[in-house]
Amino acid sequence: MEFQVGDIVKLKKPHPCGSSEWKIIRVGMDFKLKCLGCGHLIMVPRKLVEKNCRGLRPGGEE
């Protein structure tokens, strides 16, 4: 799967705020993701994102 900055990923488990969609802020060995529900930022290893990704939709880069 090809991930790019600005894309929206839907992950397997929802965030405690209720949203399961995350915006990709940074791509590399680790991904920086921003929750679309509450705006919380997290750093997650690439392998974990690839494993738990349930959907990917392109988003416009800001």
Tens of pLDDT, residue by residue over 3-62, are: 999 999 999 999 999 999 999 999 999 999 999 999 999 999 999 999 999 999 997 655
Q: Which residues of 43-58 are buried (b: 16+ CB within 10 A; e: fewer)?
A: eeeeeebeeeeeeeee
Give the residue from 62, 61, 7 showing the smallest Cα distance to 33.
Answer: 7
pLDDT of residue 59: 79
Prediction pTM value = 0.87
Per-residue pLDDT reduced to its tens digit, 29-46: 999 999 999 999 999 999
